[in-house]
Structure 1
Amino acid sequence: MFLLCGGLALAQAPSPVFVLNSLDADVSVIDPTNWREIKRIPTGKEPHHLYMTPDEKSILVANALADSLTFIDPKTAEIQKVVRGVLDPYHLQFSPDMKWLVTNGNRLNHVDIYRWDGNDLTLVKRLPTGKTPSHLWIDSKSQVAYSTMQDSDELIAIDLVKQEIKWRIKTGPMPADIFGTPDDKTLLVGLTGSDAVEVFDVSGPQPKSVRKIKTGAGAHAFRGAGDKRHVFLSNRVANTISKIDLQTLQVVDTYPAPGGPDCMEVLAGGRYLLTTSRWAKRLTIIDTEKREVVKQVRVGKSPHGVWTLDHAQRR
């Protein structure tokens, strides 16, 4: 998508890059032709995660303490609407078929399941969970949602059709993000309280913890590399990003990522990896071929989620 030659230049007019600033309650809009912030979009109090709808018509910002969702046009960077009355949305994910939106109530210890008709959300079930629901993953068939419990060290599975918890299993310390293999048989869970990813076999009626992959301290968030073979994992304490082979379940590369790397995005073509540097108020751009940081862009306080339309495949 862009070339490095004393700077970053784009071959075509790109879509903006969106970076969520959790402690500023806004979103930085970045022009990737010059890698400068061009505007801020106000959100609600304590936004923590972004999610683009599977049809890519909206970016949703989950405003945890404002009990609201802000919908943003990913092309024009204009607010489409604000949905209020969504209780404590910390992390969120649409099912691939877009029938369900699931949100984690991080401070209120619940998972909410909403039905989505293309315009409106309807709460169909609120499920009490373990302590501090963290991140979500929904399988490719839109039938099962998985959620980690950060402070009770658990992983749970939720039947989206029946709206009930199917099972729960203990994990390593402080489980955070989840990533599923394309066949839906294996889940990877980042252990932020450790230096590893825990691997679960979820192909049977009950899950099994099958191994741990050592990555780096503060193993936290995932982003598919775009090739259906590899996934990136941010190690927030180690200030690195690991590349994991989903077939061999081994780390095959490691990249520097200063400032507490958190959420990630991969630009179209797969070469350039974007990560929010949580403690440095920066968006960091990494050239994965050269294995080096090529640019840092100043954003707001505690940057968290990052998304753009010009992205490599996510799953």
Structure 2
Amino acid sequence: MKKYLVLVVTTLLLLSSFLAGCSNAKDERKDKAINDKSENASNNSGDQFLFTANEGGSISKISVKNLKVMATFKMDGLVHNIQVSPDGKVVGATIVPNMAMHGDDHSTMDMKGKAIFFNPKTNKLIKEVEVGNHPAHIVFTADGKYVLVTNNEDDAVSVIDRSNYSIIKSIPTGKGPHGFRISTDSQFAYVSNMGENSVSVLNLKTLKEEKKIQAGKTPVTTGLTSDGKTLVVTLNKENALAIIDLSTGKMNKVKVGIGPAQVYIQADNHFAYVANQGTEKSPSHSLTKVDLKSKQVAATIETGLGSHGVVTSPDNKFTYVTNMFDNTVSVIDNSVNKVVKTIKVGKTPNGISIMPK
């Protein structure tokens, strides 16, 4: 478990030179594209894209139509989490400096990370924002007002004003905040606190922690149904998914694979998909499909080694899973619960996100 925590918390990424051959002038950097390997990086008309955050120092941009990597953005650092905004206009990623990876005692490091934002179609940089120590996950509010970033070693969440990409608030959370989701009405964020087995409920009107929910051992990531009534939490040390009725507080736990990491609820709220990572020495290689109505496992799907990040297509037909120790993405046909394509991406893929239709 210790190795897992080190991997999750410390292999996040910083992009200190996000642009290829850019000058030091900030106004010039906005006119440059990310340092990528593609020949026609901006020729994206009519396509939809997946993005993976690769801890080996890159972002992969994948065509949903062709299931091929269209561009690889090289980073001077390690990328952990990545998210496309609900309107599809911006991609955000969390970054930690390479210098923070040196030494054994990561808890003593004082190295501010960054959130970076770029245009998913043109690959142009929009903004770099310094956040807290070891930023983990990044999520946009659906109303377009805020972007939130969990800072794992600061026990806080940075609130970024999307209109100008300035930090307007740091909200204290529980210990070791990591993965989270925001309600579709943009009113609440549910942040898993890996260091204290709780979920912080943040009120985005008051920008304060409203309460904590005791979820179970080592909560890694949360998911939330679109009606805001059901919360799901991956419990890494329990090999389980907690399903919580937010109106009553009643909790059910469903056994999944070994070492669950991320969870994603498909658009119609029927199924939650849990990526089972395991550890680097003993990696898991499965995705657990959980029926949220019956609270039963509907299917267990074979993936690559170290399944971590997961997202479903907006039409619920496919699920995409990053396999950290295979450097691949598994494409799963949800109608048959089988992998139909495996895509080679950058080294140690972690977070994954998809553009809306």
The equivalent of 1:142 in structure 2 is 186
One of 268, 273, 276 as aligned partner of 1:235: 276
Indicate yes or no: 2:245 matched with 1:201.
Answer: yes
Size of the aligned set, in residue pairs, is 293
Q: Aligned partners of 2:309, 2:336: CA distance in 1, in Å?
A: 21
Q: Aligned partners of 1:47, 1:301: CA distance in 2, in Å?
A: 10
One of 181, 206, 209 as aligned partner of 1:165: 209
Query: C-alpha root-mean-square deviation of aligned residues, in Å?
Result: 2.3
The equivalent of 1:87 in structure 2 is 132
Indicate yes or no: 2:113 matched with 1:67.
Answer: yes
Q: What percentage of residue pairs aligned between the two structures are identical?
A: 24
TM-score (norm 1): 0.84
Indicate yes or no: 2:57 matched with 1:16.
Answer: no
Q: How far has the Cα of 1:269 moved from its partner?
A: 4.1
Q: Aligned partners of 2:171, 2:300: CA distance in 1, in Å?
A: 38
Q: Deviations over 1:8-63 (max 9, x none)?
A: xxxx9633332211122x11123455544343213453321111112110111111
AA aligned to 1:303 is P
Partner SS for 1:242: strand
The structure with more strand, counted as a fraction of residues: 1
Q: Aligned partners of 2:149, 2:162: CA distance in 1, in Å?
A: 13
Inter-CA distance 53–44: structure 2 relative to 1 (3 Å threshold): farther
The equivalent of 2:290 in structure 1 is 244
The equivalent of 1:47 in structure 2 is 79
Q: Deviations over 1:225-260 (max 9, x none)?
A: 333322211122242112222222222222111211
Q: Deviations over 1:166-189 (max 9, x none)?
A: 111333211011111232122110
Query: Contact 2:131–2:151 (CA<8 Å) still a contact in 1?
Result: no
Q: Aligned partners of 1:111, 1:137: CA distance in 2, in Å?
A: 12
The equivalent of 2:257 in structure 1 is 216
**Greater Cα offset, 38-47 or 232-241:** 38-47
Q: How far has the Cα of 1:103 moved from its partner?
A: 1.0
Partner SS for 2:305: coil
The equivalent of 1:287 in structure 2 is 333
Indicate yes or no: 2:139 matched with 1:113.
Answer: no
The structure with more helix, counted as a fraction of residues: 2
Query: Contact 1:263–1:276 (CA<8 Å) still a contact in 2?
Result: yes
Q: How far has the Cα of 1:133 moved from its partner?
A: 0.6
Q: How far has the Cα of 1:127 moved from its partner?
A: 2.5
Q: Aligned partners of 1:201, 1:266: CA distance in 2, in Å?
A: 23
Q: Deviations over 1:248-298 (max 9, x none)?
A: 222222211121111123235433321110111111122233332222222
TM-score (norm 2): 0.75
Partner SS for 1:155: strand
Q: Aligned partners of 1:186, 1:270: CA distance in 2, in Å?
A: 19
Partner SS for 1:270: coil
Partner SS for 1:193: helix
Query: Contact 1:256–1:291 (CA<8 Å) still a contact in 2?
Result: no
Q: Aligned partners of 2:226, 2:356: CA distance in 1, in Å?
A: 22
Q: How far has the Cα of 1:153 moved from its partner?
A: 1.2
The equivalent of 1:7 in structure 2 is none
Indicate yes or no: 2:230 matched with 1:186.
Answer: yes
Partner SS for 1:216: coil
Q: Aligned partners of 1:49, 1:164: CA distance in 2, in Å?
A: 24
Inter-CA distance 139–31: structure 2 relative to 1 (3 Å threshold): closer
Query: Unmatched 5+ residue regions in structure 2?
Result: 1-44, 98-111, 279-283
Inter-CA distance 40–163: structure 2 relative to 1 (3 Å threshold): same
AA aligned to 2:288 is S
Indicate yes or no: 2:348 matched with 1:306.
Answer: no
The equivalent of 2:173 in structure 1 is 129
Q: Aligned partners of 2:66, 2:143: CA distance in 1, in Å?
A: 36
Query: Contact 2:201–2:209 (CA<8 Å) still a contact in 1?
Result: yes
